[in-house]
Structure 1
């Protein structure tokens, strides 16, 4: 499985085509970067998805590289209602405006 590490990406000569920050309940965020033709999650030193606790933590981890597009993505767990319609895709994808975003 492909992966990226924040400390490998956080350099001035790195250009990330798209950064997707996935928001989960309990204030957990995972970052997925499209860099060098590979779209992959950022992992920690144990090769487990690196957990962030805010969008600002993600920004700080990647503050030196150039990011062309950035998005915050959230899928609600509360999409089923009694007697309601079948499950639908309720993904919310919001563009983020980060300093240095191209």
Structure 2
């Protein structure tokens, strides 16, 4: 989903929430959730759109309708300790409504 499609779905009220996923290395990915499915934001070339920060995401989405907006941190503790992946849920922190 590109930015224009995301905006159209947001205006139509079809987006349940936006999740900004914090990745290792200071990279953030934005995904829209609709009907339980995740749709990552892509750039003009169809590649995953990388954001620099929460503020970068807010600047990008400043003209969008109000939507629930969350910061999601994936757990890397087990992998760092050599214990393998866990079944624990990622940490999801509401960062307010995006507008």
With normalisation by structure 1, the TM-score equals 0.72
Partner of 2:96: 97
User: What is the CA distance between 1:7 and its match in structure 2?
Assistant: 4.0
With normalisation by structure 2, the TM-score equals 0.74
Partner of 1:40: 39
Partner of 2:50: 51
Partner of 1:5: 2
Distance 2:41 2:93 in 1: 20
**Gapped regions of structure 1 (runs ≥ 5):** none
The structure with the largest alpha-carbon Rg is 1
3-state DSSP class of the match of 2:66?
strand
Structure 1 pair 35–87 and aligned structure 2 pair: CA distance change class (3 A): closer
Alpha-carbon contact 2:65-2:98 (below 8 Å) kept: no
Number of residue pairs aligned between Structure 1 and Structure 2: 94
Runs of 4+ in 1 over 4 A off after TM superposition: 35-38
User: What is the CA distance between 1:91 and its match in structure 2?
Assistant: 1.2
